[in-house]
Amino acid sequence: MIYHPDRYCRSPDNGCLSEPRRVAQTEAVNISGNTIFIPGATSGIGLALAIALQAKDNTVIIGGRRTELLDRIAAEHPGLHTIPIDTADPASIEAAAKQVLAQHPYLNVLVTMAGVMHIEDWHRPESFLASAESIITTNLLGPIRLIAAFVEHLQKQTKATIMTVSSGLAFAPLKITPSYNASKAAIHMLSESIRLQLVDTSIEVKELVPPGVRTALLPGYEDSAASMPLDEYIAEVVALLENQPDATEIQVESVKFLRYGEARGEYEQVVSALNATDFKAS
């Protein structure tokens, strides 16, 4: 993703603005009082979002594979709850779901955050097949299994949310990460589809659509001037959740360059610009 702090490309209806429209603080809604489970939240966007939502007076449970890391995070952030989970393992998801619901019976928000991203070379199967299988297992089957583990419980809540996590790369491909792009495109369409099915329940389905963010997801992202600073990203996401409560996609301004490239008739230009990006620190 190409991060342009001075350029905000909205949807085709709104064009490109010099800066994003600021919603008055008085319009904001209260996003506190929820019980939120975020598996895959021991680093990066997941952990930063968990901390930000806890600061808004929510009960937040994070999940991850490494118990020592979970213990350290819990010590550093009192009040943040932790659950061991491997989202690539169906048995681990089932066990974690039982533990979460036993300890937090009022859970009403599931954020399917876990994801992996690998560089692949599709000229030879040994350069991509194992990676592709791992990515699809974690990025697509993981969220599907998580939703399966919690959907019946969430339907019993007065108001509930499933937040999936796609990517700007669901809408414009980065050539070095084919399987990741495909997994996130699938998550986008899955989100669209289950939103239609669950319209008769108390569950709303939101899709978080990150741009490139300065995390360790891919080598070069963390220090890249082409990626959005993590703190800025999280602050904008929380503001969107407060100020646009009915939004089905949580899109910060910078991701709209990718999200609406095709709709603007600029798909080829967007893909070209994206793949010319140098993910190195400036």
Element (H, E) at 152: helix 142-155
Residue 180 annotated as catalytic? yes
Phi and psi torsions of 202, nearest 5°? -85, 5
Taking CA 152 as the corner, what is the angle to CA 158 and CA 61, rounded to the nearest 5 degrees? 75
Catalytic-labelled residue, pool 3, 8, 180, 221: 180
DSSP symbol at 205:
E
What residues contact residue 174 under an 8 Å CB cut-off, 6+ apart? Answer: 180, 181, 274, 275
Count of CB atoms situated within 10 Å of the CB of 72: 13
| 149 Cβ contact partners less than 8 Å away, ≥ 6 residues apart | 93, 94, 96, 97
CA atoms within 13 A on the CB side of 186: 16
Judge contact between 109 and 52, C-beta under 8 A: no
Residues acting as catalytic residues: 180
